[in-house]
Structure 1
Amino acid sequence: MTTSQPREPLPGTPDAAEELAGLPREFPPHRWGFGAFLLVEAVLLASAAFVSVLVGDPAPGQPLPIRTVLLGTMLPTMIAAGVAVLATSLRGNGPVIDLRLRWRWSDVKAGLKFGLLGLVLTSLSAYVWTELVGNADATSAISALIDDRKMSVSAAVVMFVYLWLAGPICEEIIYRGLLWGAVERLQWRSERWGRIAAFLLSTAVFAASHLEPLRTTLLLVIAVPIGLARFATGRLAGSVVAHAVNNFLPAVAILFGALGLSSF
């Protein structure tokens, strides 16, 4: 497949006429594609493996230190997102244009709607999943890491901020930003078909990339409203807000559990 013509604001999306306000009306198509995404995924996996060896296993019976939280859960995803941004800067027009990072209040509203929808779907799906296969199989990797383990207050707050805000931003840059843009870059029958393909592939890859096979179906349910926010707005901010809303209650639950307040 060949690359498309220079990318213009997606027709039919909110504020499409103002999408490139203050920017040149024409700009060259970006030169990155699936290779950039695969590189980012390789960096994510390699840095996670390296950090796991560096941090080692936490001492049993001791609160998780902030170093383990920062390095073990946050650093690999943040490094990978940084590489994604760097790829757009070196091989494209930068993250604002290539990843559609321009901010609109309409994106916030759409993200809130899809995020709340995601919360409902996630809660129902998690309940059904737990009834069918048990609570252990529905536990995420992060939940398993801190299960029955207290944290220092600083570590717990950092974990909360990451799960609620920093993590969604980084993951959206990688999946609904870089991967989405790589799919759209291919020549489709219409831009709408390209967006549909980007939605479907990014949703599936997002779920599979967590490397939690037992929870892949549940992660697909979580990913659909987030991808719909990106599809509906045509920009990344909508899916970031939806992702953050969807993560808020689980992040609060993990925060309380880590501080030993789960009984309240």
Structure 2
Amino acid sequence: MFSALQVVAVDTLAVAGSEPTYTYWKPGYYDSIPKSKMIIADTLPSYDAMLSRYQSKEFEYIESISDKLSFFDKLLDRIGTFFSSLFPAPNTNFNENIFNILAVVGGIIFVFLAYKFFISRKRVYIHHEQEEEELQQIDFVEKNLLRVDVGAYLSEALQQKNYALAIRYLHLMNIQLLGRKGIVQWNQSKTNSELMEEVDNVALKNEFLACAALFDYVWFGGFGITATSFAKYEEQFVQFQRRWS
């Protein structure tokens, strides 16, 4: 059973048969809407006061800061970034001044090591090139020992103050003497001991081996010798050559 109110409501909807309409253009329609409070201009802060709020350090952007940094500050920043990428950040608070000092010291060490690397590399290359030329020259002299003028190579080594090389040429002059006299059969692959196996004269053999031992000491020992020490060593080779020439 429907109540009278329900019947009236149903009849009303049935009669209307459409959505309700609103007359937005009628006067006073919007009077029921609450009005918002007006913003009074006098209550707003002045432009200068508002601008000052954004002049603090946290509102400075990287672009504006980088323009103000000096060359030294930029260098410290780059060094700090480099070392930060190498070492993890410490958990404890680290004094910024100490970190800057360490960064500068690390940068100086890095530059020094880089300089030493390139300079040393250049010197090693030059030294290696000189050694290659020296070994090629020795190889040529040894292969043609019975035909070349070893004295000319000895003079060149002395002009260059390469006393170890001069001792080697003195030793080759001893072998050249014995080879030209037919006492030994020279071959570049032969050792001093193999050469002396061909010698019957005991005195000659002992004196030659004494000179050979001196050559081994200077050449293979890698000891730097002076002009004074060379003159002392040279005398032993000269005496051998005078006696057995």
- TM-score w.r.t. the length of structure 2 is 0.25
Bigger helix fraction: 1
Question: Which gives a bigger RCO, structure 1 or 2 (Cα 8 Å, sep 6+)?
Answer: 1
- TM-score w.r.t. the length of structure 1 is 0.23
The structure whose Rg is larger is 2
